[in-house]
């Protein structure tokens, strides 16, 4: 078959180098999230960029297993504060924010990961406080001992948790426990996450990536290519079906409710980067 539509590592490694460092060995691709080679600071450019980045990884036939990890001592625990001003979130909330950014991007981003045809190992190297799907919607999930999970939509920002976490944590924790986690601002440590079934193994930080590579080689690359890919397809299919059924409604709820939340104020406690509790009765947005 013609390879005219395939992608090449050298090309997409350069294209997405601002937030992904990529290296490949024997068909195993390690994708490391970063900002300036430090822990990733989440912004709207990364949010959108992950969609074509995962498509490029998927369209490269030399990739047979993906290891997704972060940089330093955090997986995804910080926002790029100036990014929100770049996109006008300190100004009146419009359809550009609610649809073109929130709805349009987040109804595609989880599927960019779920539609990968190769197995994915998440090596969670520290706290994960936003977009937990990147950590938890994977075939094998490993966590370092310093990892904790926090869901800040409701507790931190005071907005509807509709970007897929309503589905993710309900399925992983059960309906009542999942709602408790979404609403109560709990920080769940790595060992509790393992005991509850969110992660498979908890490791010292200096052993995390080595273990991910070991699993990639012994569990996945030791098997036939077709068996590997179709086993991935079979085991991830329930997540595809759930997100197809629930994500679009969830993001419609979240995006609509955000019209009553923004614009953001410059004062502490109302900045999305703070992820702290906010009392809407005493904090008013800038006019």
Cβ(172)–Cβ(178) under 8 Å?
Answer: yes
With a CB cutoff of 8 Å and minimum separation 6, the contacts of 158 are 261, 277, 278, 280
Q: Among this protein's residues, is 133 annotated catalytic?
A: yes
Backbone angles phi, psi at 272, to 5 degrees: -60, -25
Radius of gyration of the chain (CA): 19
From the candidates 78, 133, 151, 254, give the one annotated as an active-site residue.
Answer: 133
Q: What distances in angstroms separate CA 189 from CA 62, 129, 195, one per listed residue?
A: 36, 12, 10
Going by C-alpha positions, the residue among 113, 110, 4 that lies closest to residue 57 is: 113
Cα distance between residue 259 and residue 254, in whole Å: 9
Active site residues: 133
């Amino acid at each position: 078959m013609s390879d005219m539509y395939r992608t090449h590592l050298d090309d997409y490694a350069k294209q997405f180098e601002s937030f992904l460092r990529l290296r490949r060995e024997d068909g195993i691709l390690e994708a490391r999230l970063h900002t300036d080679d430090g822990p990733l600071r989440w912004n709207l450019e990364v949010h959108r960029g992950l969609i074509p980045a995962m498509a490029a990884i998927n369209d490269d036939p030399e990739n047979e297993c993906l290891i997704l990890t972060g940089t330093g001592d955090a997986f995804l625990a910080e926002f790029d504060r100036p990014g929100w001003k770049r996109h006008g979130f300190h100004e009146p909330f419009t359809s550009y924010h609610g649809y073109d950014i929130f709805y349009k991007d987040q109804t595609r981003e989880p599927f960019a990961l779920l539609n990968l045809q190769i197995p994915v190992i998440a090596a969670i190297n520290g706290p994960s406080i936003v977009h937990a799907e990147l950590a938890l919607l994977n075939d094998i999930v490993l966590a370092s001992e310093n990892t904790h999970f926090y869901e800040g939509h409701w507790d931190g920002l005071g907005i509807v948790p509709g970007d897929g976490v309503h589905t993710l944590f309900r399925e992983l924790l059960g309906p009542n426990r999942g709602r408790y986690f979404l609403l109560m601002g709990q920080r769940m440590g790595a060992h509790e996450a393992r005991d509850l079934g969110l992660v498979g193994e908890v490791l010292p930080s200096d052993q995390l990536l080595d273990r991910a590579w070991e699993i990639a080689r012994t569990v996945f690359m030791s098997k036939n290519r077709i068996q590997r890919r179709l086993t991935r397809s079979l085991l991830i299919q329930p997540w595809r079906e759930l997100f197809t059924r629930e994500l679009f409604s969830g993001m419609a709820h979240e995006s609509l409710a955000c019209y009553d939340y923004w614009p953001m104020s410059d004062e502490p406690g109302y900045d999305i980067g703070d992820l702290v509790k906010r009392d809407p009765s005493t904090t008013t947005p800038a006019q």
